[in-house]
Amino acid sequence: MKRRTFLQAAGLGGAAAAITSPAIAQSGPTINWRLQSSYPKSLETLFGACTFISEAVAEMTEGRFKIQTFAAGEIVPALQVADAVGNGTVEMGQTGSYFYIGKDMGFAFGTAIPWGMNSRQQSAWMYRAGGLEIMNEMYAKYGIFALPGGNTGTQMGGWFRKEIKSKEDLSGLKMRIGGLGGNVLQKLGVVPQQLGAGDIYPALEKGVIDAAEFVGPYDDEKLGLAKVAPYYHYPAFWEGGAELSFEISEVLITRPSSVTVSVGGATTALATA
């Protein structure tokens, strides 16, 4: 499927409709994809989005389009999901695009930037102001097509092994933090570390890192962070509305054959792989 026509479908019916519209419009062989998340199954709010889209796609296609879900590390390491999607190791991934700013700083805008947008503003930019198309023009360089995959809202400042009372307390502090927030805190003396969710607790427990930010109380408690870092600081200026992404390998959407799909009374010409 061509990326621009795929975007039209996404606007009509969201991620699930965009993926399944061709399968609804015509009969064909069963499609089987593998989707790996950057998050463990214990985080049902985050990994649960994978389960939701898998079940929705199967229902909308009467079982002809099956997406098998895998947790972080089951196929590739948590922070290599975008690479696995781009090189075709997996057909689909769920991740935070800002984990990959080492490839291109533009990846940060797919999730959150310091002092950036809240969740409503992020959605408005993506769906109404051309943000989604802009991001996919960049993602295409890395073999990826992406759709928004849910927003956490404003995140917390994180868990610390010692209380932070002044800027001086940040000097030399080793902190797990994703995206450009680490670049900002580095100016204050923090040593940013990029770790997958499943690696945060043992790193804090062993003293490999001194602090960690993840999402918020519910998910952070699931990871057990309060057990090894008793001081919680909030809010975070670096993630005002962190958005996850469902990434799809471009290999699967660049071999067109024309079909017509009707969604909500609107007829749209699409190309399918």
The number of folded domains in the chain is 2
Cα–Cα dist 54/153, whole Å: 23
Numbers of helices and strands, H then E, in the chain: 9, 12
40 HSE (CA, 13 A, CB side): 12
Are 225 and 212 in contact by the 8 Å Cβ rule? The answer is yes
Cα–Cα dist 149/272, whole Å: 22
Cα–Cα dist 57/63, whole Å: 8
Stretches in the chain below the pLDDT threshold 70: 1-27, 254-273
55 and 182 in a common domain: no
Closest CA to 182 of 213, 153, 209: 213
201 and 128 in a common domain: no
218 and 124 in a common domain: no
29 and 8 in a common domain: yes
Check residue 218 and give its pLDDT. 94
Cα–Cα dist 210/53, whole Å: 36
Structural domain for 254, as ranges = 3-153+242-271
b/e code 89-103 from CB counts within 10 Å (16+ = b):
bbbbbbbbbbbbbee
Check residue 253 and give its pLDDT. 75
The 8-class DSSP code of residue 2 comes to: -
Check residue 14 and give its pLDDT. 53
250 and 128 in a common domain: yes
CATH of the domain at 258: 3.40.190.170
| 254 burial level (CB within 10 Å; 0-12, 13-18, 19+) | middle
CATH of the domain at 225: 3.40.190.10
Check residue 7 and give its pLDDT. 42
265 and 140 in a common domain: yes
Q: pLDDT tens digits, residue range 227-265?
A: 999 999 988 899 999 999 999 999 887 544 444 444 445
Q: What is the mean pLDDT of the chain?
A: 87
9 and 24 in a common domain: yes
221 and 145 in a common domain: no
Q: pLDDT tens digits, residue range 100-115?
A: 999 999 999 999 999 9
218 and 146 in a common domain: no
101 and 13 in a common domain: yes
Check residue 27 and give its pLDDT. 64
Check residue 235 and give its pLDDT. 83
54 by DSSP, 3-state: which? helix
Count of Cβ atoms closer than 10 Å to residue 207 Cβ: 10
Count, residues in the chain? 273
Task: Give the Å distances, CA to CA, from 164 to 161, 167, 170, 200, 224.
Answer: 9, 8, 7, 19, 20
Count of Cβ atoms closer than 10 Å to residue 115 Cβ: 10
149 and 32 in a common domain: yes
95 and 18 in a common domain: yes
Strand segments (E) across 125-178: 144-151, 158-160, 174-176
